[in-house]
Structure 1
Amino acid sequence: MSNHREPHVLYVQARHLVGEPWTDEAFAQLLAVLADITPLVEALPPNAAFAEVRGGLRYFGRTAAELAAIIRLRALALHSIDCTIGVAANPQLARMLVHHGPPGAIRTLGSDPHTTETFLRPLTPEALPGIGPATARTLAQYGLTTIGRIAATPLGTLQRILGATAGRQLHDRARGIDPHHISPNAPARSINAHREFDHDELDPDQQRAALLSIAEELGVRLRTERQIATSLTLTVRYADRTTTSRSRRLHEATAHAPDLTEAAYALHQHLGLQRARVRAISLRAEGLRDAAGATHQLTLDAADDKKRQLEAAADRARRRFGAHVVRPAALHGTARRHWKSGPSVAT
């Protein structure tokens, strides 16, 4: 008989055994294998998923580790997909287990506090979700070079170092506490928006202004639907009707307009369109996920926090007064508008 303290969360990360490129079809096959075991599957494109198997422990009469072994065997036999699976009491620990060793294994962590503490204690701060190099360097200045040292640090001290919210999040994560619940979702979808110029546009500044407009539109749409994007695809159509597309995976899944704009500008610059006759530009936000399950990179950048607060205020103004009441300053006044907007299209 199962109990609530048993490991019951799986984090599954997959790859093709034969070294073939990973595809959307392979991801769908992975999700189908998981769905045969439990309906509580949270897709994490492009090649991972969480699965809550608490109900399956009694139904199948097996432990979570045994169910993980069945999943791994089926994925391998049916689709030549090799899975690395972490089995733990919450999503954070299950994910960390997968990244704590080479691929192609099942790693299980018991639920008792001593076992969790023993696993976490020697790891570096970067092993925790949301801890990047900048935050790790800041912690190192205070001698906090392992998760064990962070866990032994009083909450108030961490909050003085990182701020109230980030300090509390780190305090919980270092103790293996994760409030995230598995949210069943459909395979990721995408939304697209485009701008068509009134004439063949050679001015890169006008092209970037159109990209800024699109990124803002997609950001608003994502936040309204409580979604985040994991990648962007830029498509440019030229005067002769040919097109070029480039994609980029975002460093962090987001609906934050400045991050989307930065990625769009980088894609545009990479195309090298110095004197190209551009007729239309489109941007597709792909790999959409539920924002409620997102892990946000902890940051010490006060300017970024301010931008996010202003963005939230602008969203409230849009809901009350209309979608076009707030726009970036670069799109007002001297910004020349030589394009027609296309609607955002969801797929």
Structure 2
Amino acid sequence: MSRGPRSDAARRDWGTQEDGCSILHVDMDAFFASVELARRPQLRGLPVIVGGAQRGVVLAATYEARAYGVHSAMPMAAALRLCPQAVVVPPDHHAYREVSAGVMEILGSVTSLLEQVSVDEAFLDVSGARRRLGPPTAIAAEIRRQVQARYGITCSVGIGATKFVAKLASGHAKPDGVLLVPKAATVEFLHVLPVGALWGVGERTQQALERWGIRTVAELAHNDVQVVERAVGRAAGRHLHDLSWGRDPRPVEPTREERSIGAEETFVTDVDDLTVVEAKVRELADRCASRLRSRSLMGRTVTLKVRSSDFRTLTRSRTLDSPTDVGREIYLHARDLLAGVDLEGLPVRLVGVRVEGLGSAAQAVRQPTLDEAVLERDDARREAEIAMDRVRERFGRSAISAGAGDVRPDGTRSTTTFVPADLS
């Protein structure tokens, strides 16, 4: 969910004329928190925060917690200072992915023109579904009914003539509402908004515009485009000026290419033992590889992210000769990158691994190394990791994990570590 500024004036009834308004933006309300409340109904009505413990960040917060100023991406320590009575729930990403997949299945039954933009939001073009399912408002009502009935969570829906307007409308419909912005009312709707509501206007861009006296979308629209370009740059200025008049030709794109897959973790306490950091890198690399395989993807670039105790963030990348989806290979490159990071003697607060340069595994051309060609180790590792995927799918990630392992009689090391778990 976007935390962009909103306007009370934009929440009003803009009319019921639905002609030309076939774009829906469906956004789950406080998604992670809502999933947790559906699983723990005794927490309803309480300020609930989903995220890591003291050292983590807020992934989601119920509206009761938001009333205290808590929001996603906020450090957990800061959130608990604002709302010390909050109930903190650790995240369960497996559950969130399952619910997300089910919600997208509901949306996909409405139209094939579905563009998922994150785990909890999507655009739909329902122009071809209106004859079968009725006007967009009726379609929105049915989507919300099905999501609520099946998963016990709510969503908000914005309806407009363009993706940009539909997304803004869903934000103003929250929580658990629908807002239709008729095509004829698009400009009037936009011009009551603060300039920070525009797609692509972050804090720095907003400050740059305000230095030129531009604080609202209306002021931006009625300024000469050259003034806006001087404030934020030519390309961004022209784009924002178009948006301020409701001009957004981007269609709903059913297929979105995933550009990268990554995982990161903040340590409970700062870590100055690099062997502990390496072990976490191994775990994160394994997690990335598993996600790559689940999407039938391979990646060519491995990126390491390290944040030291003074909050300095360092990133290092390496492009491989051949794409991979093998956790062991991702780990070895990430470990080399870690060895080259100068932490200036400071302990590590956070570490992350990301794989970029993604492509279809079926179409990937992979050149094996000499060792792999002779010993066929890479195929064996892949098969072992696929077997681990199956165990985790059935029993959860904690049932089995990859690690350095023990030395075998032949001198090689096992790359699988079994973790005690109830597998009954």
User: Please, what TM-score do these two structures have when normalized by structure 1?
Assistant: 0.57
- Label 1:229 to 1:128 Cα distance change in 2 as closer, same or farther (>3 A): farther
Q: Aligned letter for 2:239?
A: Q
How far 1:285 moved relative to its partner? 4.3
Equivalent AA in structure 1 for residue 124 of structure 2: A
Contact 2:18 2:182 in 1 (8 A): no
Whether the 8 Å contact between 1:234 and 1:284 is mirrored in structure 2 is no
Cα offset, 1:170, TM superposition: 0.8
Q: Distance in 1 between matches of 2:25 and 2:202?
A: 21
Equivalent in the alignment of 1:6: 20
SS at match of 1:99: helix
Amino acid at match of 1:143: G
Per the alignment, residue 106 of structure 2 pairs with 33
Report the residue type matching 1:168 in the other structure. R
Aligned equivalent of 2:305: 264
CA contact (8 A) 1:246 1:267 kept: no
> How many Å apart are 1:265 and its aligned residue?
2.7
CA distance 1:279–1:239, change in 2 (3 Å): farther
Counterpart residue number, 2:192: 122
- Structure 1: unaligned runs, 5 residues or longer: 187-225, 248-259, 273-277, 290-341
Give the match's secondary structure for 1:161. Answer: helix
Cα distance in 1 between the residues matched to 2:114 and 2:191: 30
What secondary structure, in the 3-state scheme, does the structure 1 residue paired with 2:183 have? coil
> Do the aligned partners of residues 144 and 243 (structure 1) sit closer, same or farther apart at CA in structure 2, a change above 3 Å counting?
closer
Q: Say if 2:244 is the partner of 1:166.
A: no
Q: Please state if 1:83 is matched with 2:155.
A: yes
Mark the CA change 1:88 to 1:240 in structure 2 (over 3 Å): closer, same or farther: closer
Aligned partners of 2:157 and 2:173 also within 8 Å: no
Hey, what's the Cα distance between the residues in 1 that align with 2:252 and 2:308? 33
Partner of 1:206: none
In the alignment, structure 1 residue 281 sits paired with structure 2 residue 342: no
Q: Which amino acid aligns with 2:112?
A: P
Displacement after TM superposition at 1:83 (Å): 0.8
Matched position secondary structure for 2:124: strand
Q: 1:267 to 1:58 in 2, by over 3 A?
A: farther
Deviations 1:32-69 (A, max 9, x none): 00011111111112211111100011222x11111011
Tell me if structure 1 keeps the 8 A contact 2:38–2:151.
no
CA contact (8 A) 1:68 1:85 kept: yes
Match of 2:208 in 1: 138
- What secondary structure, in the 3-state scheme, does the structure 2 residue paired with 1:13 have? strand
Q: Name the CA distance, whole Å, in 2 between partners of 1:281 and 1:6.
A: 50
Kept in 1, the 8 Å contact 2:261–2:354? The answer is no
AA paired with 2:259?
I
Between the aligned partners of 1:85 and 1:92, the Cα distance in structure 2 is: 13
Aligned partners of 2:18 and 2:123: how far apart in 1? 18
SS of the aligned residue for 1:84 comes to strand
CA contact (8 A) 1:10 1:50 kept: yes
Compute the displacement of 1:101 (Å). Answer: 4.7
Q: Counterpart in 2 of 1:182?
A: 252
Cα displacement (A) at 1:93: 0.5
> Aligned residue for 1:228?
259
What is residue 126 of structure 2 aligned with on the other side? 53
1:305-329 alpha-carbon deviations (Å, 9 max, x no partner): xxxxxxxxxxxxxxxxxxxxxxxxx
On the 8 A contact 2:158/2:168 being kept in 1, the answer is yes
Give the Cα–Cα distance (whole angstroms) in 1 for the partners of residues 277 and 234 of structure 2: 55
Q: CA separation of 1:229/1:86 partners in 2, compared to 1, >3 Å: closer, same or farther?
A: farther
Amino acid at match of 1:73: R
| 2-structure distance, mates of 1:99, 1:240 | 39
Distance in 2, matches of 1:162 and 1:39, equals 37
Match of 1:107 among 179, 186, 192: 179
Structure 2: stretches of 5+ with no match in the other structure: 1-16, 40-90, 267-272, 286-301, 314-330, 336-352, 360-377, 383-388, 390-424
Equivalents in 2 of 1:173, 1:125: separation in Å?
11
Letter aligned with residue 266 of structure 1: R
* Pair 121,23 (structure 1): closer, same or farther in 2 beyond 3 Å: same
Distance 1:239 1:71, change over 3 A: closer
Higher RCO by CA contacts (8 Å cutoff, separation 6 or greater): 1
Q: 1:75–1:83: 8 Å Cα contact kept in structure 2? A: yes
Q: Secondary structure at the match of 1:131?
A: coil
The change in CA–CA distance for 1:4 and 1:121 in structure 2 (over 3 A counts) is closer
CA pair 269-234 structure 1, distance change in 2 beyond 3 A:
farther
